[in-house]
Amino acid sequence: MSRPHVSVHLPRHVLLLAGAAAAFFVAFLIVDRSTESVPRWEIDLTTWVNDAPDVLAGVLWPIMQLGSFFAPIVIGILAAYVYGWRRGLAVIVSGVGAWFLAKFVKDVVSRERPLAFIPTIDVREGEGSGLGFVSGHTAVAFAIATALLPVLPLRGRVIAYALATTVGLARIVFGVHFPLDVVGGAALGIMCGCVVDLVMLALPTRAGANVT
């Protein structure tokens, strides 16, 4: 079975990594100053998105699973079959790494989930307790999308990032994250995908082998 090859351009990864790092830093600064109180605009936006009808939440739920812990493992195995073991490994390492890094950031920042600030919010999954910044589901989804970036055509990249964005939106609809939690998670996931891919590029390959 022939495997598609898409060249990887180092500047693209560096620029994407820099942009994601800047977005994460800005979100972190805003949230770090408001762990005891959330900005009014963020509360209003969260409430507005959370007011989505239940039927929309039902449609979003299966898409939201793309940000679960097992999603990068399953997608990574599929990617390994289609694009080669290196790409599959990049997906798995990026996604799982984003999941655990998100937990680390949550412990550092210690901002609670929306229920602690908006008692009337509709929590559609779980109890709504625990820490919120950053969204682990969003981080995983964007890590997977970024890890697949080098091997996807333009349409595939748009779809991958659209799905990752939908995961973040779903977390707000389900009442378990604020918008900045999602922004921070997206940035963290992109950083994970970029770093892992840059490391993969630095690893030696067999002569004549495609780097995907």
pLDDT number for residue 126: 85
pLDDT tens-digit map of 125-142: 888 889 999 999 999 999
Q: Biggest alpha carbon distance in the chain?
A: 61
Q: CA 9, 15, 16 angle in degrees (round to 5)?
A: 90
Tokens of 64: 């939201």
Are the CB atoms for 121 and 49 separated by under 8 Å? Answer: no
pLDDT number for residue 161: 97
- The domain total for the chain is 1
Are the CB atoms for 197 and 148 separated by under 8 Å? Answer: no
Residue 19 covered by a domain: yes
Residue 3 covered by a domain: no
Concatenated DSSP letters of 28-66: HHHHHT-SSS--HHHHHHHHHHHT--HHHHHHHHHHHGG
Residue 211 covered by a domain: no
- Percent of the chain, pLDDT > 70? 89
**Rounded Cα distance, 156 and 194, in Å:** 17
Kindly tell me if the per-residue pLDDT of 7 is higher than 50.
no
Are the CB atoms for 167 and 141 separated by under 8 Å? Answer: yes
Look at residues 86, 118, 109 and name the one whose alpha carbon lies nearest to residue 28: 109
Which of 14-18, 29-33, 129-133, 161-165 bottoms out in mean pLDDT, i.e. has the lowest?
Answer: 29-33
For the segment 24-47, the average pLDDT, to the nearest whole number, is 87
pLDDT number for residue 2: 46
| pLDDT band, very low/low/confident/very high, at 35 (cuts 50, 70, 90) | low
pLDDT number for residue 152: 94
CATH number at residue 68: 1.20.144
Residue 2 covered by a domain: no
Residue 142 covered by a domain: yes
Chain mean pLDDT for the chain:
89
Residue 1 covered by a domain: no
> In terms of pLDDT, which residue wins out, 104 or 38?
104
From residue 211, give the alpha-carbon distance in Å to each of 89, 113, 131, 152, 191.
Answer: 12, 41, 38, 14, 20
Residue 52 covered by a domain: yes
**Rounded Cα distance, 122 and 56, in Å:** 14
Are the CB atoms for 128 and 120 separated by under 8 Å? Answer: no
| pLDDT band, very low/low/confident/very high, at 22 (cuts 50, 70, 90) | very high
Domain range for residue 37?
10-202
User: Which residues have a Cβ under 8 Å from the Cβ of 79 and sit 6 or more positions away?
Assistant: 87, 88, 90, 91, 147, 148, 151
Are the CB atoms for 13 and 198 separated by under 8 Å? Answer: yes
pLDDT tens-digit map of 63-107: 999 999 999 999 999 999 999 999 999 999 999 999 999 999 999
pLDDT number for residue 194: 94
pLDDT number for residue 5: 47
Residue 5 covered by a domain: no
